Homo-oligomer: A and B are copies of this chain.
Amino acid sequence: MKDASEENAAGMKPETLAMTLAGIGIIHSPFKEPAGMPIQPVFAEGTVGTVEVLPQYAEGLRDLEGFDRVWLIYWLHKALPGPLRVIPFRDTTERGVFATRAPCRPNAIGLSCVQLLSVSGNVLTIGGVDILDGSPVIDIKPYVPKFDAFPNSRAGWCDQSPPSARTHADNRFMK
């Protein structure tokens, strides 16, 4: 408890909280701008792209064959640094940004559960792409249903989205 209190908000040391990342690759997709891009893989059936991992990291891709899906963690490089309340694509009401998947976030980190179609050397071919072309990749993790699938989890305001809610983006969050 002492350690924790030394690191709490009041005493949080800036050096603990500044992190520098280096992209491990880049995502190639059909989408040059948000307008018309699916907002989640589930709305992106049939859209295919690739993850081009820098050659020096290719060895880390071994054993991905056999996974139907992977998590891509990436930089939302064209997202506006936004306010803490946003009107998300699937709603008409302002929501706290951490209760949405909107791309304008204090740290512009994207998270997409894409289909893994094939692995060839340092390139993953992916399906269900909801990501802008040129987005830098930060991490790739395997999708493991035992860890990640909670189909009966309640989803707050998202459970109230009408059938007519948007499935594709516009440019509202773009730089």
Beta-carbon contacts under 8 Å, A108-157 to B: 109, 111, 113, 122, 133-134, 136, 138-157
Count of residues in A whose CB is under 8 Å from the partner chain:
84
Are A19 and B12 interface neighbours, CB within 8 A?
no
Are A84 and B101 interface neighbours, CB within 8 A?
no
Are B4 and A133 interface neighbours, CB within 8 A?
yes
Question: What CA separation (Å) do A113 and B143 show in the bound complex?
Answer: 12
Beta-carbon contacts under 8 Å, A55-71 to B: 55, 57, 59-71
Give per-residue flags for A1-42: 1 if the beta carbon is below 8 A from chain B beta carbons, else 0: 001100111001000111111111110100010000000111
Lowest 8 A-B CB distances belong to which pairs? A66-B156, A17-B23, A62-B96, A63-B99, A60-B84, A149-B151, A98-B140, A59-B84
When distances are taken between beta carbons in the complex, the residues of chain B under 8 Å from A52 are: 8-9
Q: How far is the CB of A142 from chain B (nearest CB, A)?
A: 5
Are B60 and A97 interface neighbours, CB within 8 A?
yes
